[in-house]
Amino acid sequence: MPKDRAPTRIQQKNRAAILDAALDVFSAQGFRGATVDQIATVAGLSKPNLLYYFPSKEAIHNEVLSQLLDTWLDPLRALDPAGDPLEEILAYVQRKLEMSRDYPRESRLFANEIVQGAPRIHDVLSTDLRALVDEKVAVIKAWSDAGRIAPVHPYHLIFSIWSLTQHYADFEVQVRAVLGEEDPFAATPEFMETLYRRLLTPN
Find the CATH number of the domain harbouring 26: 1.10.10.60
CATH code, 121: 1.10.357.10
**Structural domain boundaries, residue 94:** 62-200
**pLDDT digit string (tens) for 35-65?**
999 999 999 999 999 999 999 999 999 899 8
- Output DSSP code: residue 201: S
Q: Which residues of 58-67 are buried (b: 16+ CB within 10 A; e: fewer)?
A: eebbebbbee
Dist. CA 158–CA 97, nearest whole Å = 13
**Average pLDDT of the residues of the chain:** 92
Residue 7 has pLDDT above 90, yes or no: no
pLDDT of amino acid 116: 85
- Residues 47 and 67 occupy one common structural domain: no
Quick check: 136 and 189 in contact, CB under 8 A?
A: no
**pLDDT digit string (tens) for 100-134?**
999 998 898 888 888 888 888 888 888 889 999 99
Rounded to the nearest 5 percent, the helix, strand and coil shares of the chain are: 75, 0, 25
